[in-house]
Structure 1
Amino acid sequence: MTIGEALHTIRLNLGLSQQQMCEGIVSRPFYAKVESGKNRINAESLFEILFKHQVDVLEFSELIQETYISGKNKTEIQFKDRMDNAVNTRNVESLERYCQKIVATSDNKILKLRALVTLAYFKGEVKDIDENIYKELKKEFDEGRNWTTRPDLLTLLGNTMPLWSQEELDFLISRLLASVKRHKYSELALERYLRIFGNYLVTCYDRKISIRSNTNIVEVINYIISTTKSFHLMIYRINTFYLEAMLSGNIDKAQKIRKNMEDYGYGAVIASWPI
């Protein structure tokens, strides 16, 4: 989407007229031409409009990024999306192919770290990862960096959890949880955090961490359930109930949730859920 198209989409979602959208910032005729692509809007006026209507800037940037990013970055995003799809479908062969392309062609250090660790995890080779990769990973989450608000580092955390010790992982997740509780996010922005917290619960299950011995797990579960009441976020809510049952050892409840999802035609959606 262009900036004008994104503003048009958001305005309709908010149920506003063009006059209501731009009032007090730019004139309605000028704004109408911005939406139609005939006028350019300066950054100051654009952000005034977004902030006035409490539009999440990250959500807005995700709507327009494909239009304005360079060809090289587009290629990286395509590789990343294909890698993520391979992860979701547990297609190790495709995952290895895309990860190798990322490592061979990308200059993005964080994306390379994601690819290396993700591939090692799905091939069962996490213990064989070079110590230097682990050191590079830790550098990205140094105390001085505000990683809890950086999308690239949040995604890196979500994809590299098997490499962290449980103590390190619990510390990072507790910091992230404290941070997100202080803010109110749009559903699109919230999904980024829900995916990370879901990965954390899966990692704890893989490590056979008891829900009774880890308060972080309980707090993460409660947070997800409290923020996923809308239909759009319901899959995260159901997944959390499933993982809670698995972590609690209630296999009958987990199997019932899984069967219900399959009966309703969501077999592909739950393919990556732990069994």
Structure 2
Amino acid sequence: MTVGEALKQERKNLNLTQSAMAAEVISPSFYSKVENNLHEINVNDLLAILDAHCIDIPSFFMKIDSKVKTDYFNLNTFTDRVLDIWYNKDLKQLAELQTELTKYTGNDVSFLNLQVELLTFFIKNERNAKLSDSLMQKLRAELFKQNSWSLSSLKIFRLTMRIYDLDQLTFFMASIMNKFSDFKGVNLEIVEVIAAILVNYLDNCYENNEFNQSRNVQNYLEKMPANLTLFAYKLLGRYYQALFDKNTTELTNIRQVFIDCGYQTFIQLLPK
């Protein structure tokens, strides 16, 4: 059984339409093509859909023939590994990831290779280093190709935000906020990545003294679900609002909350 056939079986068991089954993780039209084996779905989007409908993941993969299952298993935590390698600047793990990726032949392989290429650039270059024109073009092309703003594309955007100027970031922010105008049915991991992107954008606005451009993003962040997972992001949103308003009392209070919760080191990284 293929991934598409397994998804179709689960959807019918749940008595859902294709649009409902897509769970706003991918577009209904793309989901339809996955079911009909016309497109391959990347593993993060697949797992997000399964999670959204409380489908048992091991049981699902047991239905899939061994070759497909192996490919998906190898990429199960690909993007999380990319982020871990970036934070730890681990060239050995990066080399291992590159070797593993050569075994994968899915339709999203170019996007995954791009992540590794970008990761290599960020690890080996200084913070203000500029991407080559060719690599920038590849990145833009892949992000637009991933215009459904999947979990994978959102994570790679979060990782690469510093390579864009503020106008470019503002364009992408508008695209994301338009796509996720309502969080009903959206996977919580996607919501959390979006919240992290919003905070990164606010930090960029502060660095560029562009406070007016931050208002829509701050309002959007405030309206995100009242979930404890998002508490720190919402608090950081208020922190940047206080920075923009030069509200020293609010800044002190928020900094103290982080300190009381044990984040003394983190608070040193925030602008004052």
Q: TM-score range by the shorter chain?
A: 0.5 to 0.7
Aligned length: 225
- Pick closer, same or farther for the CA change 1:79–1:185 going to 2, 3 Å: closer
Determine whether 1:242 maps to 2:242: no
Determine whether 1:260 maps to 2:257: yes
1:154 matched residue in structure 2? 154
Give the Cα–Cα distance (whole angstroms) in 1 for the partners of residues 231 and 71 of structure 2: 35
2:209 matched residue in structure 1? 210
Higher relative contact order (CA 8 A, sep 6+): 2
Query: In the TM superposition, what is the alpha-carbon distance from 1:102 to its structure 2 partner?
Result: 3.2
1:48 matched residue in structure 2? 15
User: Counterparts in 2 of 1:51-130, with a 5 A limit?
Assistant: 56=23, 58=25, 59-62=48-51, 67=58, 68=61, 70-85=69-84, 90-91=87-88, 93-94=89-90, 96-107=91-102, 108-118=109-119, 120-121=121-122, 123-130=125-132
1:25 matched residue in structure 2? none
Give the Cα–Cα distance (whole angstroms) in 1 for the partners of residues 270 and 153 of structure 2: 24
Q: 2:258, 2:264 within 8 Å by CA — same for their partners in 1?
A: yes
1:193 matched residue in structure 2? 194
Q: 1:245, 1:251 within 8 Å by CA — same for their partners in 2?
A: yes
Q: Structure 2 regions of 5+ residues with no counterpart? A: 1-6, 26-47, 62-67, 103-108
Determine whether 1:131 maps to 2:142: no
- Structure 2 SS opposite 1:227: coil
1:180 matched residue in structure 2? 180
> Partner amino acid for 2:118?
V
* Deviation sequence 1:73-129 (CA, Å, 0-9, x none): 433344532443455xx43x33x4434433444253323333443564465245243
| Cα RMSD after superposing both structures | 3.9
Give the Cα–Cα distance (whole angstroms) in 1 for the partners of residues 19 and 169 of structure 2: 37
TM-score normalized by structure 2?
Answer: 0.64
Q: Find the partner of 2:227 among 211, 225, 230.
A: 230
Give the Cα–Cα distance (whole angstroms) in 1 for the partners of residues 128 and 158 of structure 2: 15
Give the Cα–Cα distance (whole angstroms) in 2 for the partners of residues 173 and 232 of structure 1: 21
- Pick closer, same or farther for the CA change 1:174–1:41 going to 2, 3 Å: closer
Query: In the TM superposition, what is the alpha-carbon distance from 1:253 to its structure 2 partner?
Result: 4.1
> Partner amino acid for 1:175?
S
Give the Cα–Cα distance (whole angstroms) in 1 for the partners of residues 98 and 267 of structure 2: 27
Query: In the TM superposition, what is the alpha-carbon distance from 1:219 to its structure 2 partner?
Result: 0.7
Query: In the TM superposition, what is the alpha-carbon distance from 1:171 to its structure 2 partner?
Result: 1.1
TM-score normalized by structure 1?
Answer: 0.63
> Partner amino acid for 1:98?
Q
Query: In the TM superposition, what is the alpha-carbon distance from 1:134 to its structure 2 partner?
Result: 0.8
* Deviation sequence 1:32-61 (CA, Å, 0-9, x none): xxxxxxxx9924423525889999474442
* Deviation sequence 1:180-221 (CA, Å, 0-9, x none): 11563446142242233233223434xx1224342xx21111
Q: Structure 1 regions of 5+ residues with no counterpart? A: 1-39
